[in-house]
Amino acid sequence: MGIRFSEQHTIPVGALTPDAAIEAALRGWPGLAEDKNITVRCGVMTNDDMYSTDTSTGERTYVAKDRLVWLVRFGDALSASAGNPNLPPQRGLNVVLDAVSGEYLFAYSGSVGV
């Protein structure tokens, strides 16, 4: 995946608190509420693989391009390996939220960007 994450070591003014980011992630993934291995980091993320294309101009609009996000990692979550049912499940689910609004952007498994 073309995911890049650069952690911010101070929470910007106007951003959600870490606890609010976890709550927002759990609204979309309520089954993970029992996960005891949750980490949350604020930073700037780019995902080169997620975009829409304007059919008239060909211009790409990225879901996350140098976007301030919360990266909420549920470290004990197990998820199926993408594309190959013969591979074992991957440990860890990363939920990416807009840092200010808490809007769900995307989620991915594994350790990329963490």
Query: What pLDDT shows up at residue 1?
Result: 54
Query: What pLDDT shows up at residue 71?
Result: 94
> Per-residue confidence of the chain (114 residues) as pLDDT tens digits?
577 788 988 898 999 999 999 999 999 888 888 888 999 999 988 776 666 677 888 887 666 677 899 999 998 887 765 556 677 777 788 899 999 999 998 888 766 554
Domain count, the chain: 1
Query: What pLDDT shows up at residue 46?
Result: 79
What amino acid occupies position 16?
A: L
- Does any domain span residue 103? yes
- pTM given for the model: 0.77
- Does any domain span residue 26? yes
**CATH classification of the domain holding 70:** 3.10.450.40
- Does any domain span residue 114? no
Query: What pLDDT shows up at residue 106?
Result: 85
- Does any domain span residue 57? yes
- Does any domain span residue 33? yes
Average pLDDT, the chain: 82
User: DSSP state, 55?
Assistant: T
In the chain, beta strands by DSSP E? 3-7, 38-47, 51-53, 60-62, 67-79, 90-98, 104-109
